[in-house]
Amino acid sequence: MKRLALLLLTSLLFCQPAWAARAKVASMAKDPYISALVLDADSGKVLFAEQAETTVYPASVLKLMNLLVILKELEQGRISLADMVQVTPEAAKTGGSQVYLDSKEQFPLEELLYALTVQSANDAAVALATHIAGSKEGFVALMNKQAAELGMKSTRFHSVHGLPPGEGQKPDETTAADLAILCRELAKRPDTFKYTGIKERPFRDNTFIMRNHNHLIGEVDGVDGFKTGYYQAAGFSIATTAKRGGVRIIAIVMGSKDRKVRDAKARELLAKGFTMVPPKAVPPPAAAKAAAPGKGPAAQVSGPAAPGKTVTAVAPAGGAAKEEADEEAAAEAATDAAPARDWAMFLWGLLLGMVAMAVPGYLLLRRRGRER
C-alpha cells in the first residue's frame, strides 16, 4: 500500500496540469449592458451616455488599438503593407477566434491586418505584434503609450488580443468613454473603414472565408465599422459606427449578457444619434465615378470569392464551422471552456501517469512472487 500511495503521489506531481493556468475573472456582464455611449464623430459631442466611465473588459474590442498603432506605424513609414510576416510558434498556439496560423507560414502584413479586423483573429494579433514590436509585451507597451497620448485615462492594456487573462495576469480594462476617444481617432483615417467595414473576405488562397463578427454591417444603413468583443466575464460588447447624410455617429455598448440585445441596443443608439445631428450637404462622389473597375479601396474591401470557385472554411477540430450569427460566441467563448478542457487533460494525464508507473511495479511484484 505504501508503494501504491507513493506511485499516486508521484503521478500527481508529474502530471501537474494547466487547469489552474487561467486566472478567475468575476463576470461583470449585465442586462441590457454595463455602459453605453453615443458620439458625433466630427464634433466629438457626446449625444448620450450611461455609466460611460465604468470600468469594463474590452475583450476583442481592444484590437481597435492594435489597428490604430499599425496604421500610425504605416503612416510613419516604419512598416509596409507588403512586409512578409513570419508566423511564430507562439502566435500559432494562440486560441479563441483565429485563422489557424501555422509556424511554417508567412503572410503579407496586410493579409494579417484583415484577419485581425475581420475575423478578430487572435493568432494574427500575436503575429503582427511580434513582427512590429519584437514581442507581445513590446506591442502592449505601444498600445498603452498610444492610449496615454490620446487621454484614455482609465485604460490599461495587458494583452494584444483581449482574451481572458492567464494565471498571474491582469485583465485588460477600459471604459466606454475611453473607447469613444479611440474610435473618434480611428474615424479620422479612411483606411480604418477599409479594414473594419468588410462583411467577409477570403484568406489563405480562398480556403478560408473570414466573417465579420459585427452583424450590423450590411444590416444597418451606413455601418462600416468598427469591432466587437466577447468572453464570458466581459459580456458582449461593440464599438460601431455609421455614416449617413454626411454625418458619422459612433455608438458603443459594453458588457451585455446577450449578443442579440447588444446588437439591438447598438442599432437603437445609432438611430438616436442620427435624430440628434442634422444631415450635412454631401458633395457628389466624383472620385468614386472616376475610379476604374477593380481598383481602389472599393475593390480591396470586396469579400466574396471569385465566381466559380469553391471556397471552404477551415473549422476547429471537433465540429463544423458555425454560422455567422453564432460565430463570435462560438469562437471567442471557446477560451472560457479552457478550464474544463484542462481538467480533462489533468485527469487523463493522471490516469496515464498511474498506468505508466504502476504497471512496471506490478510486473516486478509478480516476478518476485514467482522467484519465491
The domain spanning residue 82 has which CATH number?
Answer: 3.40.710.10
pTM of the model: 0.76
Spatial CA neighbour of 332 closest among 249, 264, 233, 242 = 233
What's the pLDDT at 367? 60
**Is 357 exposed, middle or buried (CB count within 10 Å of its CB: 0-12, 13-18, 19+)?**
middle
What's the pLDDT at 308? 33
Q: In 149-285, at which residue ranges do the beta strands (DSSP E only) sit?
A: 200-203, 208-211, 223-231, 235-244, 247-256
Spatial CA neighbour of 120 closest among 81, 161, 152 = 161
What's the pLDDT at 339? 45
52 belongs to a structural domain:
yes
Domain, as residue range, for 133: 25-282+296-337
Q: Under DSSP, is residue 165 helix (H, G, I), strand (E, B) or coil?
A: coil
Residues forming beta bridges with residue 229, ordered by sequence position: 237
Which residue ranges in the chain fall short of pLDDT 70? Answer: 1-23, 282-372
Q: Under DSSP, is residue 156 helix (H, G, I), strand (E, B) or coil?
A: strand
330 belongs to a structural domain:
yes
355 belongs to a structural domain:
no
What's the pLDDT at 24? 77
The structural domain count of the chain equals 1
The C-alpha atoms of residue 277 and residue 323 are separated, in whole angstroms, by 36
2 belongs to a structural domain:
no
Give residue for cell 473594419: 196
Residues forming beta bridges with residue 238, ordered by sequence position: 228, 253
347 belongs to a structural domain:
no
192 belongs to a structural domain:
yes
What's the pLDDT at 1? 47
What's the pLDDT at 238? 98
352 belongs to a structural domain:
no
What's the pLDDT at 323? 36
The C-alpha atoms of residue 259 and residue 329 are separated, in whole angstroms, by 8
Question: Active-site residue numbers?
Answer: 60, 63, 120
343 belongs to a structural domain:
no
